[in-house]
Chain A
Amino acid sequence: MRAAVIVFPGSNCDRDLAVAFEQAGFQVDMVWHKDAALPEGIDIVGVPGGFSYGDYLRCGAIAAQSPICKAVVDHTERGGYAVGVCNGFQILTETGILPGALLRNAGLKYICKTVGLKVETSNSAFTEGYNAGDVIGIPIAHHDGNYFADDTTLSALKDQDRIAFTYTENPNGSAGDIAGILSENRRVLGMMPHPERAADEGHGGTDGVALFRALSGVLAPA
Protein backbone atom coordinates (compact mmCIF):
# COMPACT_ATOMS: atom_id res chain seq x y z
CA MET A 1 0.00 0.00 0.00
CA ARG A 2 1.44 3.31 -1.00
CA ALA A 3 0.42 6.84 -0.11
CA ALA A 4 1.73 10.06 -1.64
CA VAL A 5 1.77 13.15 0.56
CA ILE A 6 2.04 16.37 -1.42
CA VAL A 7 4.41 19.03 -0.11
CA PHE A 8 3.74 22.66 -1.05
CA PRO A 9 5.76 25.65 0.07
CA GLY A 10 3.98 26.46 3.33
CA SER A 11 2.64 22.97 4.07
CA ASN A 12 3.13 22.23 7.77
CA CYS A 13 1.14 19.05 8.43
CA ASP A 14 2.79 16.99 5.69
CA ARG A 15 5.02 15.01 8.02
CA ASP A 16 2.22 14.45 10.56
CA LEU A 17 0.04 13.08 7.77
CA ALA A 18 2.90 10.87 6.55
CA VAL A 19 3.40 9.44 10.07
CA ALA A 20 -0.32 8.70 10.41
CA PHE A 21 -0.27 6.85 7.07
CA GLU A 22 2.89 4.95 8.05
CA GLN A 23 1.44 3.88 11.38
CA ALA A 24 -1.52 2.44 9.48
CA GLY A 25 0.86 0.40 7.32
CA PHE A 26 1.35 2.61 4.26
CA GLN A 27 4.64 3.23 2.55
CA VAL A 28 4.73 7.00 2.05
CA ASP A 29 6.29 9.04 -0.75
CA MET A 30 6.63 12.78 -0.17
CA VAL A 31 5.89 14.49 -3.47
CA TRP A 32 7.04 18.04 -4.24
CA HIS A 33 4.52 20.48 -5.71
CA LYS A 34 6.64 21.10 -8.81
CA ASP A 35 6.56 17.44 -9.83
CA ALA A 36 4.18 16.94 -12.71
CA ALA A 37 3.40 13.30 -11.96
CA LEU A 38 2.65 11.09 -8.97
CA PRO A 39 4.95 8.13 -8.35
CA GLU A 40 3.79 4.90 -10.00
CA GLY A 41 1.52 2.64 -7.98
CA ILE A 42 0.13 5.19 -5.55
CA ASP A 43 -3.07 4.01 -3.80
CA ILE A 44 -3.99 7.28 -2.11
CA VAL A 45 -2.94 10.91 -2.23
CA GLY A 46 -2.83 12.97 0.94
CA VAL A 47 -3.09 16.74 0.59
CA PRO A 48 -1.86 18.13 3.90
CA GLY A 49 -2.70 21.13 6.04
CA GLY A 50 -0.69 24.30 6.27
CA PHE A 51 -0.55 27.59 4.43
CA SER A 52 0.39 26.67 0.87
CA TYR A 53 1.81 29.66 -0.98
CA GLY A 54 1.15 31.79 2.09
CA ASP A 55 -2.62 31.60 1.49
CA TYR A 56 -2.08 34.30 -1.16
CA LEU A 57 -5.12 35.27 -3.25
CA ARG A 58 -7.37 32.67 -1.53
CA CYS A 59 -6.47 29.69 0.65
CA GLY A 60 -5.47 26.87 -1.71
CA ALA A 61 -6.03 28.85 -4.92
CA ILE A 62 -2.44 28.91 -6.10
CA ALA A 63 -1.67 25.37 -4.94
CA ALA A 64 -4.65 24.17 -6.98
CA GLN A 65 -2.90 25.41 -10.13
CA SER A 66 0.47 23.78 -9.32
CA PRO A 67 1.85 21.06 -11.61
CA ILE A 68 1.26 18.27 -9.07
CA CYS A 69 -2.38 19.24 -8.63
CA LYS A 70 -3.04 18.54 -12.31
CA ALA A 71 -1.74 15.03 -11.60
CA VAL A 72 -3.93 14.77 -8.48
CA VAL A 73 -7.00 15.80 -10.49
CA ASP A 74 -6.16 13.12 -13.11
CA HIS A 75 -5.67 10.56 -10.32
CA THR A 76 -9.11 11.29 -8.84
CA GLU A 77 -10.74 11.36 -12.28
CA ARG A 78 -9.38 7.84 -12.82
CA GLY A 79 -11.15 6.84 -9.60
CA GLY A 80 -8.11 7.16 -7.33
CA TYR A 81 -8.43 7.84 -3.60
CA ALA A 82 -7.45 11.14 -2.01
CA VAL A 83 -7.83 12.87 1.34
CA GLY A 84 -7.38 16.58 1.92
CA VAL A 85 -7.08 17.91 5.45
CA CYS A 86 -7.54 21.57 6.37
CA ASN A 87 -5.57 23.51 3.72
CA GLY A 88 -5.73 20.25 1.75
CA PHE A 89 -9.54 20.45 1.84
CA GLN A 90 -9.35 24.07 0.65
CA ILE A 91 -7.06 22.98 -2.20
CA LEU A 92 -9.41 20.15 -3.22
CA THR A 93 -12.34 22.59 -3.44
CA GLU A 94 -10.23 25.04 -5.44
CA THR A 95 -9.35 22.30 -7.95
CA GLY A 96 -13.04 21.47 -8.27
CA ILE A 97 -12.47 17.88 -7.11
CA LEU A 98 -14.84 18.63 -4.22
CA PRO A 99 -17.74 21.09 -4.35
CA GLY A 100 -18.13 24.29 -2.34
CA ALA A 101 -15.59 26.64 -0.82
CA LEU A 102 -14.11 27.51 2.58
CA LEU A 103 -14.74 31.05 3.75
CA ARG A 104 -13.24 33.04 6.62
CA ASN A 105 -14.53 31.78 10.01
CA ALA A 106 -17.76 33.56 10.90
CA GLY A 107 -16.22 34.78 14.16
CA LEU A 108 -13.15 36.04 12.26
CA LYS A 109 -10.79 34.30 14.69
CA TYR A 110 -8.25 31.60 14.01
CA ILE A 111 -9.47 28.63 16.04
CA CYS A 112 -7.16 25.93 17.39
CA LYS A 113 -8.84 23.39 19.68
CA THR A 114 -10.24 19.89 19.80
CA VAL A 115 -13.86 19.77 18.70
CA GLY A 116 -16.58 17.15 18.68
CA LEU A 117 -17.31 15.62 15.28
CA LYS A 118 -20.33 13.50 14.53
CA VAL A 119 -19.69 10.74 12.02
CA GLU A 120 -22.55 11.17 9.55
CA THR A 121 -21.88 8.12 7.41
CA SER A 122 -19.82 4.99 7.78
CA ASN A 123 -20.27 4.30 4.07
CA SER A 124 -16.81 5.22 2.80
CA ALA A 125 -13.27 3.87 2.91
CA PHE A 126 -12.45 6.73 5.28
CA THR A 127 -15.27 6.35 7.78
CA GLU A 128 -16.10 2.66 7.84
CA GLY A 129 -14.04 2.26 11.03
CA TYR A 130 -16.65 4.34 12.83
CA ASN A 131 -20.38 3.93 13.32
CA ALA A 132 -22.70 6.56 11.96
CA GLY A 133 -23.65 8.74 14.91
CA ASP A 134 -20.35 8.26 16.75
CA VAL A 135 -18.96 11.45 18.25
CA ILE A 136 -15.18 11.73 18.08
CA GLY A 137 -12.74 14.39 19.28
CA ILE A 138 -10.47 15.80 16.56
CA PRO A 139 -8.44 19.04 16.60
CA ILE A 140 -9.17 21.93 14.29
CA ALA A 141 -6.68 24.70 13.52
CA HIS A 142 -7.92 27.10 10.89
CA HIS A 143 -8.92 30.64 10.01
CA ASP A 144 -10.88 29.78 6.88
CA GLY A 145 -12.95 26.72 7.65
CA ASN A 146 -16.44 28.09 7.12
CA TYR A 147 -17.85 25.66 4.58
CA PHE A 148 -20.05 27.27 1.94
CA ALA A 149 -21.98 25.76 -0.94
CA ASP A 150 -25.17 26.78 -2.71
CA ASP A 151 -28.46 25.20 -1.62
CA THR A 152 -28.53 22.78 -4.57
CA THR A 153 -25.07 21.47 -3.69
CA LEU A 154 -25.93 21.19 0.01
CA SER A 155 -29.09 19.21 -0.78
CA ALA A 156 -27.14 16.93 -3.12
CA LEU A 157 -24.49 16.29 -0.45
CA LYS A 158 -27.20 15.41 2.04
CA ASP A 159 -29.31 13.31 -0.33
CA GLN A 160 -26.30 11.36 -1.56
CA ASP A 161 -25.03 10.73 1.99
CA ARG A 162 -21.81 12.57 1.18
CA ILE A 163 -21.47 14.52 4.42
CA ALA A 164 -18.77 12.59 6.27
CA PHE A 165 -18.52 14.63 9.48
CA THR A 166 -20.44 17.47 11.11
CA TYR A 167 -19.45 19.60 14.09
CA THR A 168 -21.39 18.90 17.29
CA GLU A 169 -20.97 22.62 18.07
CA ASN A 170 -20.40 24.69 14.95
CA PRO A 171 -17.16 26.63 15.57
CA ASN A 172 -16.85 28.55 12.30
CA GLY A 173 -20.24 29.14 10.70
CA SER A 174 -20.08 26.21 8.27
CA ALA A 175 -23.28 25.56 6.33
CA GLY A 176 -25.12 22.58 7.80
CA ASP A 177 -22.38 22.25 10.48
CA ILE A 178 -20.32 20.51 7.78
CA ALA A 179 -16.77 19.53 8.76
CA GLY A 180 -15.99 17.05 5.98
CA ILE A 181 -17.47 15.86 2.69
CA LEU A 182 -17.03 13.04 0.19
CA SER A 183 -16.80 13.12 -3.59
CA GLU A 184 -19.59 11.62 -5.66
CA ASN A 185 -17.71 8.29 -5.98
CA ARG A 186 -16.95 8.44 -2.22
CA ARG A 187 -13.20 8.06 -2.87
CA VAL A 188 -12.17 11.61 -2.02
CA LEU A 189 -12.58 13.06 1.46
CA GLY A 190 -12.03 16.69 2.37
CA MET A 191 -12.20 17.77 6.01
CA MET A 192 -11.13 20.79 8.03
CA PRO A 193 -10.33 18.91 11.29
CA HIS A 194 -6.99 17.10 11.56
CA PRO A 195 -7.31 13.32 12.09
CA GLU A 196 -3.51 13.05 11.82
CA ARG A 197 -3.26 15.13 14.99
CA ALA A 198 -5.33 12.59 16.90
CA ALA A 199 -3.39 9.53 15.82
CA ASP A 200 -1.05 8.82 18.71
CA GLU A 201 -1.32 8.69 22.51
CA GLY A 202 1.17 11.56 22.60
CA HIS A 203 -1.28 13.75 20.73
CA GLY A 204 -3.74 13.58 23.61
CA GLY A 205 -6.28 11.63 21.58
CA THR A 206 -6.44 8.76 19.13
CA ASP A 207 -9.87 9.18 17.57
CA GLY A 208 -8.29 9.78 14.15
CA VAL A 209 -6.58 6.37 14.03
CA ALA A 210 -9.69 4.55 12.84
CA LEU A 211 -9.75 6.67 9.68
CA PHE A 212 -6.26 5.64 8.60
CA ARG A 213 -6.78 2.03 9.70
CA ALA A 214 -10.00 1.79 7.70
CA LEU A 215 -8.18 3.10 4.64
CA SER A 216 -5.44 0.53 4.99
CA GLY A 217 -8.11 -2.16 5.32
CA VAL A 218 -9.78 -1.09 2.08
CA LEU A 219 -6.62 -0.40 0.11
CA ALA A 220 -4.58 -3.43 1.22
CA PRO A 221 -4.08 -5.74 -1.77
CA ALA A 222 -6.68 -8.48 -1.59
Chain B
Amino acid sequence: MKARVHVMLKNGVLDPQGEAVRHALGAMGFDQVEGVRQGKVIDLELTEGATEADVTEMCEKLLANTVIERYEIELV
Protein backbone atom coordinates (compact mmCIF):
# COMPACT_ATOMS: atom_id res chain seq x y z
CA MET B 1 0.00 0.00 0.00
CA LYS B 2 1.16 3.50 -0.73
CA ALA B 3 0.13 6.86 0.59
CA ARG B 4 0.87 10.27 -0.80
CA VAL B 5 0.89 13.16 1.67
CA HIS B 6 0.57 16.72 0.44
CA VAL B 7 1.86 19.33 2.88
CA MET B 8 1.07 23.00 2.23
CA LEU B 9 1.53 26.16 4.27
CA LYS B 10 -1.82 27.24 5.68
CA ASN B 11 -3.65 30.09 4.01
CA GLY B 12 -2.49 33.33 5.56
CA VAL B 13 1.01 32.03 6.30
CA LEU B 14 3.51 33.93 4.16
CA ASP B 15 5.20 31.70 1.59
CA PRO B 16 8.28 33.64 0.47
CA GLN B 17 9.45 30.81 -1.79
CA GLY B 18 6.11 30.70 -3.61
CA GLU B 19 6.28 34.47 -3.89
CA ALA B 20 9.77 34.28 -5.44
CA VAL B 21 8.52 31.73 -7.96
CA ARG B 22 5.60 34.03 -8.80
CA HIS B 23 8.03 36.92 -9.39
CA ALA B 24 10.19 34.74 -11.63
CA LEU B 25 7.21 33.59 -13.68
CA GLY B 26 6.09 37.21 -14.05
CA ALA B 27 9.58 38.26 -15.15
CA MET B 28 9.48 35.48 -17.78
CA GLY B 29 6.35 36.99 -19.22
CA PHE B 30 3.77 34.61 -17.72
CA ASP B 31 1.28 37.33 -16.87
CA GLN B 32 -1.39 34.71 -16.20
CA VAL B 33 -0.05 33.92 -12.72
CA GLU B 34 -1.62 35.76 -9.79
CA GLY B 35 -0.25 33.68 -6.95
CA VAL B 36 1.99 30.72 -6.20
CA ARG B 37 2.02 28.51 -3.11
CA GLN B 38 4.76 25.94 -2.82
CA GLY B 39 4.41 22.72 -0.80
CA LYS B 40 5.78 19.23 -0.40
CA VAL B 41 4.69 15.82 -1.59
CA ILE B 42 5.78 12.88 0.54
CA ASP B 43 5.28 9.34 -0.78
CA LEU B 44 5.07 6.59 1.81
CA GLU B 45 5.43 2.88 1.08
CA LEU B 46 3.40 1.16 3.76
CA THR B 47 3.21 -2.39 5.05
CA GLU B 48 0.05 -4.47 4.65
CA GLY B 49 -2.61 -3.50 7.11
CA ALA B 50 -1.49 0.12 7.56
CA THR B 51 -4.46 2.45 7.84
CA GLU B 52 -5.21 6.05 7.02
CA ALA B 53 -5.34 6.65 10.78
CA ASP B 54 -1.69 5.58 10.99
CA VAL B 55 -0.75 8.08 8.28
CA THR B 56 -2.77 10.80 10.02
CA GLU B 57 -0.78 10.16 13.18
CA MET B 58 2.48 10.40 11.19
CA CYS B 59 1.34 13.73 9.76
CA GLU B 60 0.34 15.13 13.14
CA LYS B 61 3.56 14.03 14.86
CA LEU B 62 6.20 14.62 12.20
CA LEU B 63 5.35 15.11 8.55
CA ALA B 64 3.49 18.39 9.00
CA ASN B 65 3.81 21.16 11.57
CA THR B 66 0.16 21.97 12.11
CA VAL B 67 1.03 25.38 13.53
CA ILE B 68 1.88 26.52 10.01
CA GLU B 69 0.96 23.68 7.66
CA ARG B 70 -2.04 21.67 6.56
CA TYR B 71 -1.89 18.23 5.01
CA GLU B 72 -3.94 15.96 2.80
CA ILE B 73 -3.58 12.20 2.60
CA GLU B 74 -4.14 10.29 -0.59
CA LEU B 75 -4.16 6.49 -0.35
CA VAL B 76 -2.91 4.93 -3.56
Contacts and interface: CB of A to CB of B under 8 A. Distances in A.
B20 interface: yes
In this complex, the member of A100, A148, A173 whose beta carbon has the largest number of chain B beta carbons within 10 angstroms is A148
* Interface range, B side: 10 to 19
A61 B16 contact: no
Interface string A24-59: 000000000000000000000000000000000110
Contacts of A150: 67
A104 B17 contact: yes
B51 interface: no
A101 B14 contact: no
A93 B63 CA distance: 15
Interface of B: 9, 13-14, 16-17, 20, 61-63, 65, 67-68
B20 A108 contact: yes
A58 B14 contact: no
Interface of A: 57-58, 61-62, 65, 93-94, 99-101, 103-108, 146, 148-150, 173
Contacts of B67: 93, 99-101, 148-150
Contacts of B65: 58, 61, 94, 101
A160 to B, nearest CB: 18
A148 B13 contact: yes
A105 B16 CA distance: 7
B14 A146 contact: yes
A192 B41 CA distance: 28
A104 B17 CA distance: 8
A101 B13 CA distance: 11
